[in-house]
Chain A
Amino acid sequence: MLNVSHLTKKYHRFVANDNLSFLVNDGETAVIAGPNGAGKSTAIKCIAGLLRFDGEIEICGHNNKSIEAKKILGYVPEIPAPFELLTVWEHMEFISRAYKLENWEERAKELMTRFELTDKRDKLGKELSKGMQQKISICCAMLIDPKVVLFDEPLVGLDPHAIKELKAMLNEMKAKGTTIIISTHMLESVEDIWDRVFIMMNGKIEAERTRKFVEESGENLEELFFNITEKNKSGADEK
């Protein structure tokens, strides 16, 4: 479970996240949607414990910067950052050692097979394409079997097979009770996997919907998204 309370992140005078509060339950997939510059990635980085912020963030009841929280948190950054001088397999080994995992080899092999990295096992990080690097990032995050996992624009740069595999994996994790948070500006790319959506604009959550609510009310999510984002834009233009 992820609990974010009054999250505010400022860069000098610029407010990137303005008093965000939301809850994502176990086994739920939440999407943080919004146009470029809405504050999605900043929120994700705050949750991952990479940025300073005001407010509170709890990962399964633990402060997000605590060691307990880090043990159960997976994070797939927007820009993949593999170690240039480690092979693909050594990335898996490094994560297993850093997170003190046991019996990780089979899971690592399975992840590499699913993401078609098996034949790249002995390739160095610097020799891989951006897409392959993104796959390593995903495998590293998945290897720890996280209780909460954060994806920052995860589908950018992935090939169709990897996208299919990632979505299947997300569904499996959801079934296991993992809390999944995905940041994206392309709602259609996650339309078949989300349970809860937060639409962000100018650092604020302008709308929150559950799949159940949308299905029962017949509300068009895309229309809602554009109503919020375009209205704010035209409002800003008028000013």
Chain B
Amino acid sequence: MNSILYLLRKTVKNEIIDTIRHPLKFLLYAFVAVSMLYGAVKGYTAGDDLGNSEVFSDPRLLSGAYLAVLFFISIPIMLKGLSSGTSFFSLSDVNNLFVAPISPKRILIYGVGRQLASMLVLVVTFAAYGGMIIKMFRVTASQALVLILGIALMLIMVQLVTLLIFCLASTHPIRAKIMKYIIYAMAFFALGTVIIYSFVCGISVENIFAAISLPILEYIPFIGWMHGLVFGIMQYDVPRIIIFGILTFLAGISGIIVLKITKLDFYEDVLSQAESYQEFREAVREGKFSDKVMMGNKEIKLRKRGIKKGSGASSIFYKHILEGSRRSRFMFFNINTFVLLFVAFVIGFGIKQAKSDIEPTIIYLAAMIILVYVQFFFSASGDWVKELTKPYIYLIPDGAVKKLVMAAATGIIKPFTDGIITFGLLAFVAGGHPVDIIVAALTYGSFGTLYIAANVLAQRLVGIDSTGGIFITFYMSMIVLTLLPGVVIGLVVLSNLSGSYGYIATTLLGGPLFIWNMIVSAGIFIACRNLLNNTE
């Protein structure tokens, strides 16, 4: 154990020294930490003043949203665990620790312990959102903390379950299949229960709220138990705390026992995952998101063969279409679309429930602003970024602007389709003016183009090979700079015309923003065409 403690001690010490030695990295960390702390303190200390807006005050909405979050973070990790194990260990652990004369049990404890430490970082990150949770859902600071700790604990449980699943199923295809079906069944049970209940009792905000907070959902293994435990603590419901606390505890303990009895030789199981995780980390560090890194060893069926269309620069676009169809069956309709739909519906139902006679345009405005923020996180690994890491785009004999636009085309189209789907479906909940719905979708879509343009601008200014931290700082600055004039124009239009056209406030703000975003993006594309003149 001494060697492991030494390793931990040195790793922490060297990380701190390295951060201090790199002033920019240090400043960036300090900036992020201070802003998170500020956000958290402001949120936690705001008290009732900030909670006055009773937008999401119904506890059932928080309950449903929390369960959905637990599902979103757990199911993909567990499914991935079936094929590739867990990320408890890095490749350096595999190469150095696994071959050392140290007990595998101790190494497993080290892996779980280190994971706990990294979860702590995640908890701190979530804590910054605690203020927002307090504001939106009218919970106390301690309740917000319980929610955040619940997510952290869930992540640890999922890692443990994943390791267990992998050890039990890695060499038994039938077991793997059964476990896969069990995981799917958990998800479909939750989804099916909510849908069936809503349809049987009639679709209304009240019935949907009742469906997403049904007690039966808390009996779904691991995820439901964690939900029951967290909400039991929040509501001082002792029987729930005891039942779900014991179930969660037993699940954790029995996982460790089964792991110990069945298979202590987990080295081989984590090796391939450690290798791909290492590849992933390096790619993220270098800002290179290749498909091999992102998709791992996922088997791809070649349904459609051949690019079929395109000539010169446009062949890049049609290649992206083919690649996209191989990543997922519906290229422009993927998990991101579901996340957006989920967020939009939470906002839509939340506002409607709080104030049923509210102008629909307010719902679109709120949804548009929040979804544009969410979209930022989806825009990091677009096709065009991957294209820049290969030599072909620089070598193709065609115009630079054309190549740049064609390489970015799928990334431009996707947010527009997401916007049309999301706001189109939100219209069923919110109603409202058709122009408002169209403008909300277009404005949302135009942000995809703006994010790409800001990325292009940042790459042009700091170089493609720049380190992650510096690049992200520049990228975010470019977004703010390019976006600001559009926001100002939109706000001016909104404040001047809201008296007469208040019922389409989204159009008043979003319309100018959409036009501005597209114009400034086109300008950036033209101005930065030299990006493809060299790989630097």
Question: Which residues of A approach B to under 8 Å, CB–CB?
Answer: 45, 48-52, 65, 67-68, 70-71, 73, 75, 77, 81, 83-87, 89-90, 93-95, 97-100, 122, 124, 126, 140
Contact = CB atoms under 8 A, between A and B. Distances in A.
Q: State the majority secondary structure of interface residues on A.
A: mixed
26 contacts: A45-B535, A50-B394, A50-B535, A67-B398, A68-B397, A70-B396, A71-B397, A73-B395, A75-B391, A81-B389, A85-B300, A85-B326, A86-B307, A86-B322, A90-B322, A93-B306, A94-B392, A95-B392, A97-B318, A98-B312, A98-B316, A98-B397, A99-B396, A99-B397, A100-B311, A126-B292
Given A90-B305, A90-B322, A97 B310 contact: yes
Interface of B: 290-292, 295, 300, 302, 305-307, 310-313, 315-316, 318-319, 322-323, 326-327, 389-392, 394-399, 533-536
A137 to B, nearest CB: 9
Contact of B319 (A45, A48, A52, A94): A94
Contacts of B318: 97
A122 B534 CA distance: 32
B291 A67 contact: no
Contact of A49 (B310, B323, B390, B534): B534
A98 B315 contact: yes
Contacts of A90: 305-307, 319, 322
B282 to A, nearest CB: 14
Interface centre among A75, A77, A87, A98, by most chain B C-beta atoms within 10 angstroms, is: A98
B307 A93 contact: yes
B442 to A, nearest CB: 30
Given A65-B533, A90-B319, 10 more contacts: A49-B534, A52-B533, A83-B390, A84-B292, A84-B295, A86-B322, A94-B307, A97-B307, A124-B300, A124-B326
A126 B291 contact: yes
B391 A48 contact: yes
B529 to A, nearest CB: 12
A94 B319 CA distance: 7
Contacts of A87: 302, 305
Contact of A52 (B315, B323, B534): B534
A122 B305 contact: yes
Contact of A83 (B311, B312, B319): B319
Given A45-B535, A83-B323, A86-B323, A70 B397 contact: yes
A175 to B, nearest CB: 25
Contacts of B391: 48, 50, 75, 77, 81
B315 A94 contact: yes
Nearest to A71: B397
* Chain A to chain B: the 7 pairs with minimum beta-carbon distance, closest first: A97-B315, A70-B397, A84-B291, A85-B323, A71-B397, A126-B292, A81-B390
Contacts of A98: 310, 312-313, 315-316, 392, 396-398
Contacts of A65: 533
Contacts of A81: 389-391
A84 B319 CA distance: 11
Contacts of B300: 85, 124
Contacts of B534: 49-52
A86 B302 CA distance: 10
Contacts of A85: 291, 300, 322-323, 326-327
A48 B396 CA distance: 11
A214 to B, nearest CB: 33
A121 B341 CA distance: 40
Given A52-B534, A86-B323, A90-B307, A122 B389 contact: no
Contacts of B306: 89-90, 93
B322 A100 contact: no
Contacts of B397: 67-68, 70-71, 98-100
Contacts of B295: 84, 126
Nearest to A49: B394
A86 B319 contact: yes
Contacts of A71: 397
Contacts of B392: 94-95, 98, 140
Contacts of A126: 291-292, 295
Contacts of B322: 85-86, 90
B307 A51 contact: no
Nearest to A45: B535
Contact of A84 (B290, B302, B316, B536): B290
Nearest to A65: B533
Nearest to B325: A85
Nearest to B316: A98
A52 B302 contact: no
B271 to A, nearest CB: 19
Contacts of A73: 395
Contacts of B398: 67, 98
A36 B477 CA distance: 39
Nearest to B294: A84
B303 to A, nearest CB: 12
Contacts of A94: 307, 315, 319, 392
Contacts of A45: 535
Contacts of B533: 49, 52, 65
